[in-house]
Structure 1
Amino acid sequence: MEEYSLAISILALIAAGYTYIIHDRKIKSQEARINEYELSKIDNEKIEEKQAKVRLNRIKTQPGSQTIKIYNAGRAKARNIRIEFSPEDYNGFIRMDDFPYPYLNPQGSTEIIMHLVEGGVNTLEMKILWDDDYKLNNEYTEIIPV
């Protein structure tokens, strides 16, 4: 009878040890995945701190003209901001005295005035190019209805 009790105790001890080892492996695997995720998140945050995100909005101000607001939605300073238009023949109708713009601080903005002409194009493709601490010659393109 004692031998049965001893055998049952040994089997219970082996089962508990096996369960502990399997559970421990799962926990360590989850911890490794969580650590990898947190490290990639930290790396992405470091990259975002160095990136400027220059975007634009179209604002109708008065008949015959529109204002295009160019702003930096990123966390870093945008430098050497340049604008290209397509079609290129529209350049004469846009006041570009300040461009290339030297820099835009985070959450900073500037505006350009676009004079509209009758019989002109319906849409205008604007490409914004800029440099930041992460990369040179970043670009963002948007089509603007005129």
Structure 2
Amino acid sequence: MTSSDYVALFALGVSAAALFITYRFNERQKKFFENQELLNRTLQRKEDAEVKASRQAELDANFLKIGTGYRLRVFNRGKAAARHVRVEFADESSADDFISSDVERKFPLEVMQPHGSVDLIAAVSMDCASKYSIRLLWEDDHSSSNERMVYPTI
């Protein structure tokens, strides 16, 4: 073997090592791009969910004890305004525990802003139910017919 053969053999080894290193680098880069694609899809889903949540109102209701009486507070904990808010009691006996003129005067409510609320006076006595079934109906930027059943307890 001559010196040129050794140089050629050395060059072949260097080329093989470079080829192996390039292959490993490309594999790592491929995994990096796959992870980046996964991250982009995840961020896009999160962004879509945030946009959807920003267009939705989320109504709820619970009882508050104020002094010796109770109030049913209907509130919007969503990020969008609720329009045409209505309250329906599941059974007539439940509706009798609230002052009907107060309910009729306040509902249907034209607009309930985010973090807004409306209180209804509850005429609570010893023979009243301790759990109520109430249907909340409203419209928002996301949907024109939202509905939620809530079961507030005293």
TM-score by structure 1 length? 0.89
Q: Name the residue aligned to 2:77.
A: 73
Cα deviation, residue 13, structure 1: 0.9
| 1:77-122 deviation line (CA, Å, top 9, x unaligned) | 1011111223322212213121111110111111111102332323
Q: Which residue of 2 aligns with 1:117?
A: 125
For structure 1, the 5+ residue unaligned runs are none
Runs of 4+ aligned residues of structure 1 deviating over 3 Å after TM superposition are none
- Bigger Cα displacement from structure 2, 92-101 vs 14-23: 92-101
Residue 139 of structure 1: how far off its partner (Å):
1.9
Q: 5+ residue gaps in structure 2?
A: 1-5
Q: CA RMSD in A?
A: 1.6
What TM-score do the two structures reach when normalised by structure 2?
0.85
Q: How many residues align?
A: 145
How far 1:75 moved relative to its partner?
1.3
**Larger strand proportion, structure 1 or 2?**
1
Q: Deviations over 1:43-63 (max 9, x none)?
A: 111111111111222101244
Q: In 2, distance between residues paired with 1:91 and 1:46?
A: 37
Larger radius of gyration: 2
Task: Between 88-97 and 130-139, report the one with greater CA deviation.
Answer: 88-97
Q: 2:147 aligns with which of 129, 135, 139?
A: 139
SS in 2 for 1:124: coil
